[in-house]
Chains A and B, each alone.
Chain A
Amino acid sequence: MERVQQGDVAAFRKLYDRYKSRVMSYLNMMVRNRAVAEELAQEAFLRVYRARASYGREAKFSTWMWTIARNLAIDHLRKKTETLLDPHQQEGSHRIEEIESPLSNAEVMLIRNSRQEQVEKCLSKLTHAQREVLTLRTLSELNYDEIAATMKTTLASVKSLIFRAKEALIHCLKKSES
């Protein structure tokens, strides 16, 4: 990132290549429109380069970049007047081990055998905050604290949202299978 800050386009190209698919996929899950997601992803990278001088070393680059992508998605959804669920509403007390616990064999098979469209359909049935937190955890490689910082919410809220998202997703896939 230091090289990018000095205007090194080759270094920026590496960051872009590393993150473009994940950022675009995250935005696709957020706005549920591939063309819009691609446009927003392009804008996110342009904003990263535009604001490179203002990037503070105290934050991890990936957290900063995901925040930019998230803000773009939120702005887009607000323009579409979609009601965003406040992630603070879903406080809970779940431990990380509980959330990260391995799936049962049946659950693994369930997800593995589900078609991509079916998974996407079930994800779209989650609340906005559940879908966002699950997508961020899956694609961003951010830890729970960093996800909380990106979403401007608490760690407890993030854990609760992921736990409920996981339950709701598996329930939806089971239902669609039967």
Chain B
Amino acid sequence: MTLFDLLKKKILKTPRKKFDRVFWTKFNREFEPRSLWSPFRIAIPATGVGLALLVALWLGFQKMNTAAPTEELITQVEILGDLDLLAAFDDLPLSEDEWEELVSKENHDG
């Protein structure tokens, strides 16, 4: 019997019970193959995107439904009315003299 045979019996130790559990937990954490399409990997970002879209839509509707100030609306209606009037004048076959007379009347009235 050699020194090494005797010594082996004295120094060889079995790892404690938790050794295997701890090792394989570390191993799986590092090397376990993860499916690219696993439900959780898709569900979490998809939920986030869905929520963001809902919030954006809701905010958009809110903005559209909010009434503009009354004064602003009146001004807009007047401008549109003037544009209609000008468009109507454009269609009239007026000579230069008639046109000047109409404008001078308009200025005089208004």
Contacts and interface: CB of A to CB of B under 8 A. Distances in A.
A binds B: yes
B73 to A, nearest CB: 71
Interface in A114-148: 114, 116, 119-120, 123, 134-135, 137-139
If over half of A's interface residues share one DSSP class (helix, strand or loop), that class is named, otherwise mixed; here it is helix
Contact of B19 (A20, A102, A112): A20
Main secondary structure of the interface of B (DSSP, over half): helix
B30 interface: yes
A103 B22 contact: no
B19 A103 contact: no
B12 A100 contact: no
A40 B92 CA distance: 98
Interface residues of A, number: 36
Interface string B11-38: 1111110011011001100110000000
B63 interface: no
User: How many B residues are at the interface, by size bracket?
Assistant: 20 to 34
Interface in A66-102: 100, 102
A88 to B, nearest CB: 23
B2 A102 contact: yes
A164 interface: no
Contacts of A139: 8, 11-12
B87 interface: no
A32 B9 CA distance: 17
B86 interface: no
B11 A41 contact: no
25 contacts: A20-B19, A21-B12, A21-B13, A22-B12, A34-B13, A38-B22, A41-B19, A46-B30, A49-B27, A100-B2, A103-B1, A103-B3, A107-B3, A108-B1, A111-B3, A111-B7, A112-B6, A114-B10, A119-B7, A119-B11, A120-B11, A134-B7, A138-B4, A139-B8, A166-B3
Interface of A: 9, 16, 20-22, 24-25, 28-29, 34, 38, 41-42, 45-46, 49-50, 100, 102-103, 107-108, 111-112, 114, 116, 119-120, 123, 134-135, 137-139, 166, 169
